Amino acid sequence: MVAEALVRNSRLALISHDVVGSLSTVLVTGGKANRPLRTFIFFAIVSPVIAIAIFGCISTYRDLTASTFARRQSMAHLAATGFEQRFGRLTDIGVSLATPVRFRQLVTEGKWEQAIEILKDVTVNFPFVDRAFLADHSGTLMADTPALPGVRGQNFAARDWYQGVSATGKPYISNVYQRAAEPRLNVIAAAIPIKAADEERIIGILVLQVPLDALFGWSAAIGITPSEAIYLFDRKGRLAMHPALTSRGHIVDFFDTPAVRKALSGESGIETMFNPLENDDRIAAYVPVPGIKWGVIAAEPTQIAFQQRNATIARLLVLYGCILLIAGVFAYVIVRTVGSLKRAEETNQALNLDLQHRAAELEAANKELESFSYSVSHDLRAPLRSIDGFSLALLEDNVDRLDTAGKDYLQRIRGASERMAQLIDDLLNLSRVARRAITRETVDLSAMADSIVGELQRAEPERRVDFSAKKSLTVDGDERLLRVALENLLGNAWKFTAKSGQPKIELGVMQDNGSPAYFVRDNGAGFDMAYADKLFGPFQRLHAMAEFTGTGIGLATVQRIVHRHGGRVWAESEVGKGATFYFTLN
């Protein structure tokens, strides 16, 4: 995301070069130093970086916010689908129990005790069912299992389950209610009409009661985190499932909550709502439960939900801060140097002509570079090349006028710009890996590895490395992306075996839970497994720059490519004894 934000806004950086070129000419030819103009030049150089940072942060903020909302919406839809299936299964169970001929005959004959005897094992076979009972066509409870005192003979025609079955003549899932029998649990009921042989007249009703506690097991497959919660509401907006809710106590009514009312009216969406049970603000995605006109909300505290977004923005600000620091130092050096050169008229004139000539050459070169950069990397590296070019010009042409500190500053600026250019290249490559469409074909990893090692050997002909690759390792994947991944893995192995007495690199395959896992093994420097979790993160390095060069992007690129192929990547190592990197592909 950071790399994409940089690429997306990089065109603004070109402004700094044009402004510096034109305003430097004004300073050189203007005679006496002009403090307001120098201040203007400083901000003209720095302001494009600030603009890039602002646009990059805003764009990344929007993207990550949308991603957070999308996850909550997906959770809500998944939960709604899961509950629909569970309620459908509960209804199917009731229908299968209420339709056998013998059972219907006993109900028709009013033999309620014998009929309920058939259902005595329902709560054993289906543990989420707490109780089953039979009511006649008028809603009077005639028999129940397990039998509870004081309820037989009571009429429940006012209950939602009775009215729903009577109105439709079909199985019906009731709203949340508190049952009449002790203990007074809060339950929902699946009411199944028992019909006569003609399938027209209702002769009884089978009711399966499910306590609210049992609903938590129905949402277990969704895979929510501890900070996330799934809320389930009946048709009247009463809470049927909530992490802080049990089957006992007061039934909580949320009908006045806008998100609940929208879900119950068939709408889907997402908004921020205040939750009075947890007493905090939450991101709430709401969807209806198809078929029964209930509603589901997937919620998470806003502070936790946006934690990753805020951390990413913080990292992005640090990166832009580094770029801004380089631009600020560069601007300061330019302004101070130009100001000092103007003190001597003859030197000023000579330098003016020289700078104009160099500016013209640089402008022509930059125009050619601009056309190329737009197609390669959106011109993001042009400002850094300008930094390096001006610093070199000052070192070559004014070495006798700079003190030791000034020379050191310019050398540091050049080194920093070179490192930043390499970092941007790697970030752009990482970004391209994420955006490039996968084109699958049969790829010969063995031949590809031989080619890559051959290129490494030609680059360092003085090195002798024992390389072996298992023959005919073919996979199904994107050839270009897999080559990038192998180049990084084999390149790392080549680099970290540089100090080994007898360097060895191997490409092979092993079985991992019945699937092939490919590996690149070396006997190089290795690393401490205590830091293995940092290996595949961008900018993460386990060795000092002076010991082994690199930007820390290579393994992040490998992980991105492997993940895009549906696989995983991991490593095993011991300090001084080499490392093995494994990856799978699907």
Same domain, 19 and 43: no
Q: What pLDDT, on the 0 to 100 scale, is given for residue 275?
A: 79
Helix pair 307-341, 345-376: axis angle to 10 deg = 150
pLDDT for 7 equals 40
Q: What is the end-to-end Cα distance of the chain in Å, rounded?
A: 25
Contact 16, 44 (CB under 8 A): yes
Report the alpha-carbon distance of residue 500 to residue 228 in Å, rounded: 50
Instruction: Write the CA distances from 312 to 315, 376, 422, integer angstroms.
Output: 5, 26, 22
Rounded CA separation 433/3 (Å): 11
Q: Is 446 found in the same domain as 429?
A: no
Residue recorded with tokens 């949340």: 176
- Amino acid making up residue 12: L
Say how many domains are in the chain: 3
CB 315 within 8 A of CB 56: no
Q: What angle do CA 336, 361, 341 make, to 5 degrees?
A: 20
Domain of 528, in residue numbers:
441-583
Q: What is the pLDDT of residue 32?
A: 47
Q: Return the SS3 of 547.
A: coil
Q: Two tokens at 471?
A: 């023959």
Same domain, yes or no, for 9 and 131? no
pLDDT in the model for residue 427: 61
Q: Which of 256, 288, 305 is the endpoint of a domain? A: 305
The DSSP symbol for 223 reads -
What is the rounded CA–CA span in Å between residue 409 and residue 398?
14
Find the CATH number of the domain harbouring 296.
3.30.450.20
pLDDT at 396: 79
Let me know: does 544 contact 489? Beta carbons within 8 Å. Answer: no
pLDDT of residue 380: 61
Instruction: Write the burial class of residue 124 (CB in 10 Å: 0-12 exposed, 13-18 middle, 19+ buried).
Output: exposed
CB 503 within 8 A of CB 497: yes
What are the distances in angstroms from CA 396 to CA 100, 110, 145, 401?
A: 99, 109, 97, 11
Asked whether residue 105 falls in the same domain as residue 234, the answer is yes
Alpha carbons 312 and 409: distance in angstroms, whole number: 31
Cα–Cα distance between 298 and 273 in angstroms, integer? 12
Q: How does DSSP classify residue 530?
A: G
Whether residues 201 and 151 share a domain: the answer is: yes
The answer to whether the beta carbons of residues 503 and 521 sit under 8 Å apart is: no
Pair (149, 185) in one structural domain: yes
Check whether residue 95 and residue 230 sit in a common domain: yes
Q: Which helix (H) or strand (E) holds 502?
A: none
β-strand partners of 561: none
pLDDT truncated to tens, each residue of the chain (586 aa)?
444 444 444 444 444 444 444 444 444 444 444 677 777 777 888 888 888 889 888 998 899 888 888 988 998 999 899 899 999 999 999 999 999 999 999 999 999 999 999 999 999 999 999 999 999 999 999 999 999 888 899 999 999 999 999 999 999 999 999 998 888 899 999 999 999 877 778 999 999 999 988 887 777 667 777 888 888 999 999 988 887 777 777 888 888 889 999 999 999 999 988 877 778 888 999 999 988 899 999 998 988 888 888 899 889 889 888 888 888 888 788 777 766 766 666 677 777 788 788 767 756 544 544 444 444 455 566 677 777 777 777 777 777 777 888 878 778 787 767 666 666 666 666 566 656 678 899 999 999 999 999 999 998 999 899 999 999 899 999 998 899 899 989 988 998 898 888 999 999 999 988 899 999 999 998 888 887 777 786 666 555 554 555 566 778 889 988 999 999 999 998 888 899 999 999 8
Q: What is the pLDDT of residue 236?
A: 93
Q: H-helix or E-strand containing 414? A: helix 404-435
Residues ≥6 apart with Cβ < 8 Å to 575: 525, 526, 527, 528
Mark whether 325 and 269 lie in a shared domain. Answer: no
429 with 450, same domain: the answer is no
Q: Are residues 404 and 279 in the same domain?
A: no
| Helix, strand or coil, per DSSP, at residue 124 | helix
Smallest CA-to-CA distance from 341 within 586, 27, 14, 5 is with 27
Specify burial of residue 226 (Cβ count, 10 A radius: 0-12, 13-18, 19+).
exposed
pLDDT at 169: 92
Regarding whether 17 and 55 lie in a shared domain, the answer is no
What strands, in cross-sheet order, belong to the sheet with 280-289?
239-241, 229-233, 294-301, 280-289, 269-275
Q: Which residues are registered as beta bridge partners of 206?
A: 134, 192
CA-wise closest residue to 130 among 191, 248, 249, 214:
214
Say yes or no: 449 and 502 in one domain: yes
Q: How many helices (H) and strands (E) does the chain have?
A: 17, 18
CATH number of the domain encompassing residue 565: 3.30.565.10
What are the residue ranges of helices labelled H in 281-381? 302-305, 307-341, 345-376
CA 139 to chain centre: 52
For position 234, what pLDDT does the model report?
94
Last residue of a domain, one of 305, 326, 353: 305
Gap between the Cα atoms of 579 and 519, Å rounded:
10
Which of 25, 24, 28 minimizes the C-alpha distance to 344? Answer: 28
Q: Of 258, 287, 305, which residue is a domain's last?
A: 305
